[in-house]
Amino acid sequence: MSQSPFSGSAETAAAVSAEPVASQTRSDSGSDPRLPRTPLGGGGALPGRRRFGPESVFRLFTTASGAVVLVIIVAIAIFLVAKAVPALKVNQANFLTYKDWFPDDTEHPRFGIAALAFGTVITSILALLVAVPVSIGIALCLTHYANRRLATSLGFMVDLLAAVPSIVFGLWGRDYFFEPVRQFSKWLHQYLGWIPLFGSDGPYGKSIMLGSLVLAIMVLPIITSLSSEVFRQTPKINEEAALALGATKWEMIRMAVLPYGRPGLIASVMLGLGRALGETIALALTLGSTFAISFDIIGNGGNSVAANIANKFGEASDTGRGALIASGLVLFGITLVVNVTARAIVYRRREFLGSAA
């Protein structure tokens, strides 16, 4: 097979032209020791990650911060258990089902959490039933109906309401809100007395209704603020798409805003529930401090775990303080269950949204 006369000359010319470039590259890299020695035609390897660089330090810091929270929770649980066990050992009644509270009886100490747990749960639920619809309405008004100037002013007032101390709410409820609630209780019994919730014929005063309404006002700014932030995160393209299809504003909110913000709404409601379960001074000033299980919410009575601790701790004996700490352990367990349940609900909803996408 014959070879072209120009092939040899072309290869020779290419070799000659490439040799000065290669020699220049080697001489340039060799003349300056600061330049890395790299092969021809490509860049150097990526720099390796430092073993103890800023990223590793930040990761260790965040991990330690998360671990501190768990350590604090475990330490609180250990403290409550250690202080409650001596009182539970001398208790001569069933702690979970007994309603009365006589831990300071030297001969027959008896105490139980049934009435206190019932009062704690029912006041918190009633407070949420009142606060959640109002909070969602205020949040929707601030984000979709009110103009920017009015929304800013109303949002500032809601945030300011959250800064009021709980004792101020308690004193206001006991001294000024007491009479309107008493008159409202009379009206409820007069026209709706056939319902067990409003069956009491008096006297009216410090009651579950009074405590629940004060508690609703206290948790309202928390739920409103978080709900407003959730509604503002709704993608504008979702809202505009609903409006472009001919939906009214309420239909757009119902189809685009509320479904998107449902996990955040659940989280805000559960955070408000946690705030309601642990409220102390306001309920201590507005409940009747009785130990009874009754669904009548307008008659004198009602109590909660936190309010009972505030009322009894100062005059309690060693066994009495242990009993109060044992009731605090039950409240700790209730709030833990509530928060774990809220986290599970939000997580399941997030997984559903991810699978649908």
The predicted pLDDT at position 3 comes to 47
**Inside any domain, residue 188:** yes
The predicted pLDDT at position 125 comes to 94
The predicted pLDDT at position 203 comes to 80
Residue 37 above 60 pLDDT? no
The predicted pLDDT at position 126 comes to 94
The predicted pLDDT at position 75 comes to 94
Residue 14 above 50 pLDDT? no
CA atoms of 354 and 348, how far apart (whole Å)? 10
Ranges 40-54, 107-121, 274-288, 337-351: which has the least confidence? 40-54
Residue 4 above 80 pLDDT? no
Share of the chain above pLDDT 70, in %: 83
**Inside any domain, residue 207:** yes
**Phi-psi label, residue 279: left if phi above 0, alpha if psi -120 to 50, beta otherwise:** beta
**Inside any domain, residue 342:** yes
Give residue 147's domain range: 117-307+330-356
Pair of tokens at residue 281:
């001074």
Neighbouring CB atoms inside 10 A of 31's CB total 8
**Inside any domain, residue 334:** yes
Residue 42 above 90 pLDDT? no
Pair of tokens at residue 279:
């409220």
The predicted pLDDT at position 286 comes to 92
CA atoms of 312 and 317, how far apart (whole Å)? 10
Q: Which residues pair with 110 in a beta bridge?
A: 102
Total domains, the chain? 1
Residues with Cβ within 8 Å of 211's Cβ and at least 6 positions away in sequence, in order, are 123, 173, 282, 283, 286, 287, 302, 304
The predicted pLDDT at position 12 comes to 45
**Phi-psi label, residue 289: left if phi above 0, alpha if psi -120 to 50, beta otherwise:** left
The predicted pLDDT at position 329 comes to 92
Which whole number is the average pLDDT over 162-179?
91
**Inside any domain, residue 177:** yes
The predicted pLDDT at position 356 comes to 38
Ranges 143-152, 258-267, 299-308, 341-350: which has the least confidence? 341-350
pLDDT digits (tens, 9 = 90+) for 322-336: 999 999 999 999 988
Q: Which residues pair with 102 in a beta bridge?
A: 110
Q: How confident is the model at residue 199 (pLDDT cuts 50, 70, 90)?
A: confident
Nearest alpha carbon to residue 323 among 339, 333, 312, 335: 312
**Inside any domain, residue 336:** yes
279 DSSP 8-state letter: -
Nearest alpha carbon to residue 300 among 202, 193, 198, 189: 202
Residue 28 above 70 pLDDT? no
The predicted pLDDT at position 39 comes to 52
Pair of tokens at residue 278:
């642990």
Neighbouring CB atoms inside 10 A of 249's CB total 14
**Inside any domain, residue 260:** yes
Q: How confident is the model at residue 285 (pLDDT cuts 50, 70, 90)?
A: very high
Residue 276 above 80 pLDDT? yes
Which whole number is the average pLDDT over 203-228?
91
The predicted pLDDT at position 354 comes to 45
Share of the chain above pLDDT 90, in %: 39
The predicted pLDDT at position 26 comes to 46
CATH number for position 269: 1.10.3720.10
The predicted pLDDT at position 16 comes to 43
Q: Which residues pair with 207 in a beta bridge?
A: 300
CA atoms of 77 and 314, how far apart (whole Å)? 22
CA atoms of 200 and 213, how far apart (whole Å)? 18
The predicted pLDDT at position 50 comes to 61
Residues with Cβ within 8 Å of 81's Cβ and at least 6 positions away in sequence, in order, are 329
CA atoms of 330 and 226, how far apart (whole Å)? 28
Please check whether residue 255 is in contact with residue 238, taking contact to mean a CB–CB distance below 8 angstroms.
no
pLDDT digits (tens, 9 = 90+) for 80-135: 999 999 999 999 889 999 999 999 888 888 999 999 999 999 999 999 999 999 99
Which whole number is the average pLDDT over 41-68?
75
Residues with Cβ within 8 Å of 140's Cβ and at least 6 positions away in sequence, in order, are 231, 253, 257
Pair of tokens at residue 2:
């014959």
Q: Specify the 3-state DSSP secondary structure of 207.
A: strand
**Inside any domain, residue 102:** no
Nearest alpha carbon to residue 146 among 227, 228, 261, 268: 228
Q: Specify the 3-state DSSP secondary structure of 117.
A: helix
